[in-house]
Amino acid sequence: MRTTIEADYRAVTPVFCSGADPNKDAELRLSSFKGILRFWWRALAWSKYGGDLSRIGERENSIFGSASGGQSRLLMRLASADRAVIFREGKQLLTEREKVVGEGCRYLGYGLMETFGSKVRKTVEGQLIKSCIIAPYQFTVSCLCRDVDEQSLELVCDALKAIGIFGGIGARSRRGYGSLVLSQLRIEKQPVWQAPSSADGLKESISSLLREYASPGLPEYTALSQSSRCIVLQVGAATPLETLNTIGREMIRYRSHGRDGRVLGRDEAESNFSKDHDLMQTKGVKSTYPKRIAFGLPQNYFFSSTKTKSRVTPAERSLDRRASPLFIHVHSFDSASTQSAVVMTFLPARFLPVGGVSNRAAVSVDGSIVELPTEGELYEPIHRFLNRLVDPRQRKEPFSAAEEISI
């Protein structure tokens, strides 16, 4: 049996996606989309198959193909509805209102653009280090499903929805860049899903997916579960990049601590670490670790108490990073991009593989092995940040509404 699925997407924030040659202009490639579809399929498969890693791997190889399992049962094609507008390296990134992106956007786009600029390097704030595709940018992904059973077809469709509700594509997609909105989903040319046109509709779509894929326990990898948290925030009449800037500023305030109602500049932020950035004593273990590692690895630190710099990486030599379990997705409700929301999704899972004599996960701090606590304690800084977002007494940025979606 053959079934055709078509998904119309709209990128609402700049897409930093490398082409065949990473040194040339940004390019949206089918292989990149296949990668994120496979990621979100796995994120849903954990609950669908009851956390059975063997079965998940078998089904994944069967549907998406593998060296041992043969060709993919999904034949995919990507067609762009728009001609891509490219901003090349060296150009300043501008908002939809033709202003240089704010410090929140620059903070979330670390590594993609200049955060502050430098007279020595002759750069300015917001100057691109990598080229990008400017939003809005529309494209359609077509999937020809061959010999796929109904349950597997449903899971693929839900993964396509998850991309357009929680995710994005390209570099720094977990920080809001390359955010994709699913406009319409069709099976055999018949519409089966439409993009929500309001915040209430978006919340209902999120709630539906969370309820469907809410298995108990902590997943072994990044996946939806009963432990997941999702918050929808609104900033009134704001464009996607203005909305992204607002959540970026709020994160700066939390992770670097603003003073007197303002966001710290670079020098102040580097020299003023709060309790959230000091070394934390692991309960029952004679070791300390920087609490901010919950937001992902590797990380570089400057400790004001000792005037020293440190680099924290996974202790396991086969790992060079641990991606953030916190996803920022910007959702635009209209084609004019004047009404937007932020979807903050926290997908807690095993942070790093366990090992060693104590059977604990560990990080390397400048080459020294430091054991970590359980994920319950490790993820506490992220929970505090999410609690701050939904509490109008704690958050500082001008969000007009914030609501956590219950599971």
Q: For 73-95, how does the pLDDT look when each residue is reduced to its tens digit (9 = 90+)? A: 999 999 988 889 999 999 999 99
The torsion angles phi and psi of 64, rounded to 5 degrees, stand at: -95, -10
Please say if the pLDDT value at position 1 is more than 90. Answer: no
Question: pLDDT at position 303, please?
Answer: 63
Mean pLDDT for 111-133 is: 93
User: Measured at the alpha carbon of residue 128, what is the angle toward residues 253 and 396, in degrees to the nearest 5?
Assistant: 15
Please say if the pLDDT value at position 287 is more than 60. Answer: no
Mean pLDDT for 131-144 is: 96
Rg (CA), the chain: 21
CB 155 within 8 A of CB 45: yes
The strand pairing partners of 403, in sequence order, are 232
Structure tokens at 261: 């109602």
* DSSP codes of every residue in 300-358: EEEETTTTEEEEEEESSTT---B--SEEEEEEESSTT--SEEEEEEE-----S--BTTT
| 232: confidence class by pLDDT, cuts 50, 70, 90 | very high
Tell me, rounded to whole angstroms, the distance of Cα 108 from its chain centroid: 11
Please say if the pLDDT value at position 266 is more than 80. Answer: no
Mean pLDDT for 132-158 is: 94
Domains contained in the chain, CATH given = 2-88+131-195 (3.30.70.1890), 229-404 (no CATH)
Mean pLDDT for 21-29 is: 82
11-20: per-residue pLDDT in tens?
999 999 987 7
Higher-pLDDT residue of 262, 52: 52
